[in-house]
Amino acid sequence: MPKLLQDPQKAGKPTLVLYDLRDDNRRTRVMNACKDYGLARWQYSAYHGRLTGAARRELETRLEKAMGSSPGLIAILQMEQWQLDNATLISQEAEGD
């Protein structure tokens, strides 16, 4: 198991990372960076979890390097708990799952 770069016991703000990158290698780097900071996959190109301010800045730097000059987008959204509490999530499991 890889060592997390942020202590999961530290309370941070809810954070959502969304990305849309064409290059498979760069997508993998972004995915690994999110996992290294203890974020959980929400859907294919979205991760969520809690990050302290310092951890968020470190992750931003790492994601910027991972993206390089490739076309695409990475959005790091720091949220307040009330925004998650008031969010509407609509989901449906695929048949057979």
CATH of residue 49's domain is 3.30.70.240
Is 95 inside any structural domain?
no
Give me the pLDDT at residue 1, please. 43
Residue 24 lies in a domain: yes
Q: Residue type at 15?
A: T
| Residue 20 maps to a domain | yes
Specify if 62 maps to a domain: yes
pLDDT score, position 85: 86
Total domains present in the chain: 1
Name the strands in the sheet holding 13-21, side by side, starting at the edge strand that comes first in the sequence. 40-43, 46-51, 13-21, 72-78
Q: Is residue 94 domain-resident?
A: no
- Read off the pTM: 0.82
Domain span at residue 49 reads 13-80
Task: Calculate the alpha carbon distances from 24 to 14, 29, 58 in Å.
Answer: 27, 9, 22
Residue at 86 is within a domain? no
Q: Tens digit of pLDDT for each residue in 6-51?
A: 665 667 899 999 999 999 999 999 999 999 999 999 989 999 999 9
Assess if residue 22 is contained within a domain: yes
Query: In whole angstroms, what separates CA 14 from the centre of its chain?
Result: 10
To the question of whether residue 97 is assigned a binding role by annotation, the answer is no
Distance CA 4, CA 77 (A): 20
Task: Note whether residue 49 is domain-resident.
Answer: yes
For the chain, what is the mean pLDDT? Answer: 88
Handedness of CA 77, 83, 87, 91 (dihedral sign): positive
